[in-house]
Amino acid sequence: MPTTTVPVKPETLARLRSYRVGGATYDDVLNELMDDRPPVGFIREHLRLLKEEEFSDWKDVRKRLRL
């Protein structure tokens, strides 16, 4: 897998190191942090869709998804 270098301040690197647990890589840590806090644009779009979509009863959702 190709890798890249991301320049960060020494203080940031120290903080990032504190998030590593077990055999986690920095890539693992960064992806976990990003998964826990999606970008604001993503959240706004999700909220917009929720407002626009018609409410569905859980039975209708299960039927539509064939669950």
For 33-66, write each residue's pLDDT tens digit.
Answer: 988 888 888 888 888 888 887 777 888 878 888 8
Range of the domain at 21: 10-65
The predicted structure's pLDDT at residue 42: 84
pTM for this prediction? 0.54
Does residue 54 belong to any structural domain of this protein? yes
Does residue 3 belong to any structural domain of this protein? no
Does residue 34 belong to any structural domain of this protein? yes
Does residue 2 belong to any structural domain of this protein? no
Does residue 1 belong to any structural domain of this protein? no
Secondary structure (DSSP) of 2-35: --------HHHHHHHHHT--TT--HHHHHHHHHH
The predicted structure's pLDDT at residue 66: 85
Structural domains of the chain, count: 1
Does residue 33 belong to any structural domain of this protein? yes
CA distances from 8 to 1, 37, 60, 65 (A): 22, 20, 49, 45
Does residue 24 belong to any structural domain of this protein? yes
